[in-house]
Amino acid sequence: MLKDLLLSVHRAKAASKHKAILAPYLDAGTPCVLNVGGASKAYALPGHYAGWGHVLLDIAPGKDVDLVLDARRLGELPQSVFDAVYCSHNLEHYYAHEVPLILAGFAHVLKAEGFAEIRVPDLDSVLRAMVERNLDVEDALYQSRSGPISVRDVLYGLGSAVASGKVYFAHKTGFTMRSLRKALDASGFTQVHDLAPLGGYEVRVAGFRTAPGPAQRAALGLDAAAS
């Protein structure tokens, strides 16, 4: 009981501290998105977030990181304050048993009508490419702006970053469309919509706890995806 009480006090203090940091964004009168694990605001968000407040949360400090926090501790943030959570190629950096905790954190910070947009590597298409192109794990799967990305990089995390000491770049789990949808379903997202990938070899979805409204459907292209 004492442990629970101390944890409750710690979370209340953390929420108060974080709320002060978030106030300029949350009080601006515009929708606000929490970018989980985005590393830098130099990486552009999808166009439907244009004009939104952009709060960047990352495990490592950076010049434009607003919140330095492990995604497993999202419960320390104020509840029901964000219109969206954007998580691009970050969820795979945690162990499978930690994914429900992180998704619960997404639900915690989202407004009731908010949504979580998630992008992760698609193991289904990666493994298919290995077989169809006769690739070894060290072979290049595709070319990125920073150079070739091998099959091993996609499966286990960017090798050059991990070797440089950034061990949080390692991948600890993986997803297919079906497994990601299942994880969101189990975390209270009652509607999960497949979205068109924005990059190669990836799964992209939007999870809602309530039915998406017309503006959300138009912004995310849900009606086009369903047709």
**pLDDT, tens digit, for every residue of 47-106?**
999 999 999 999 999 989 999 999 999 999 999 999 999 999 999 999 999 999 999 999
- Which position has the higher pLDDT, 217 or 224? 217
pLDDT of residue 28: 81
pLDDT of residue 225: 57
pLDDT of residue 175: 98
Which ranges in the chain belong to alpha helices (H)? 2-26, 99-109, 123-132, 151-156, 159-163, 177-186, 214-220, 222-226
Counting residues of the chain whose pLDDT is more than 70, the rounded percentage is 92
**pLDDT, tens digit, for every residue of 139-152?**
999 998 878 999 99
Q: What is the DSSP letter of 98?
A: G
Q: Is the pLDDT of residue 164 over 80?
A: yes
pLDDT of residue 227: 43
* Cα–Cα nearest to 208, from 226, 188, 180: 188
- Tell me which amino acid residue 185 is: D
Lowest mean pLDDT among 10-24, 141-155, 165-179: 10-24
| Cα-Cα-Cα-Cα dihedral sign, residues 13, 18, 20, 21 | positive
CATH code of the region 2-121+175-226: 3.40.50.150
Give the domain ranges of the chain. 2-121+175-226, 123-172
Q: Is the pLDDT of residue 159 over 60?
A: yes
pLDDT of residue 7: 54
Lowest mean pLDDT among 20-34, 73-87, 154-168, 194-208: 20-34
Q: What is the pTM of this model?
A: 0.91
pLDDT of residue 223: 78
pLDDT of residue 142: 95
Mean pLDDT of the chain: 92
pLDDT of residue 17: 75
pLDDT of residue 19: 79
The Cα–Cα gap between 164 and 187 comes to 35
